[in-house]
């Protein structure tokens, strides 16, 4: 078990639940339905990534290869993907132009996808 990543995952899951509640209740009053839907997508993918991180961290000792690169790609990808969506969803309400974050979102998605591909390759190559 990787305690640091278990704790990180637990914090991120807690934050996803809190942000999800905010999106479901408070956000609907201040932004458009499309922005709420985008925000909820960010929450959903944050939860998926954090839950995946938790499963990996709890089972790290079962892997015959280091998966630190998988952790890091998943974590960075989740932050770039989800947090750029959160900010883009709130930019009108905050009255801040954050359009430059638009290209960041897919980069985060690619990093998350890459983390799982790398894990798959590592598992195939392990003995």
- How many Å apart are CA 112 and CA 96, to the nearest integer? 27
pLDDT at 4 over 90: no
pTM assigned to the model? 0.85
Of 76, 98, 103, 75, nearest in space to 88 by CA: 98
Low-confidence winner among 9-18, 57-66, 73-82, 88-97 (lowest mean pLDDT): 57-66
> Residue 2: what are its φ and ψ, rounded to 5°?
-100, 100
CA 82, 102, 74 angle in degrees (round to 5)?
35
pLDDT at 18: 93
Q: What integer is the mean pLDDT of 3-21?
A: 92
pLDDT digits (tens, 9 = 90+) for 69-123: 999 999 999 999 999 999 999 888 888 898 888 889 999 999 999 999 999 998 8
pLDDT at 47: 95
Query: Quick one: pLDDT band at residue 2, thresholds 50, 70, 90?
Result: confident
Q: What DSSP assignment string belongs to 70-94? A: HHHHHHHHHIIIIIHHHHHHHHHHH
What does the buried/exposed string (b/e) look like for 41-58 if buried means 16 or more CB atoms within 10 Å of the residue's CB?
A: bbbebbbebbebbbebbe
């Amino acid at each position: 078990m990787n305690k640091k990543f278990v704790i990180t995952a637990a914090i991120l899951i807690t934050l996803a639940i809190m942000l999800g509640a905010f999106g479901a209740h408070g956000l609907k009053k201040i932004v458009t339905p499309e922005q709420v839907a985008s925000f909820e997508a960010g929450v959903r993918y944050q939860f998926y990534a954090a839950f995946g991180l938790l499963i990996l961290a709890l089972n790290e000792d079962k892997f015959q290869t280091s998966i630190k690169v998988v952790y890091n790609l998943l974590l960075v990808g989740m932050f770039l993907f989800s947090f750029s969506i959160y900010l883009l969803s709130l930019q009108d309400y905050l009255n801040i132009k954050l359009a430059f974050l638009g290209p960041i979102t897919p980069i985060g998605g690619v990093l998350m996808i890459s983390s799982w591909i790398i894990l798959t390759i590592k598992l195939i190559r392990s003995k």
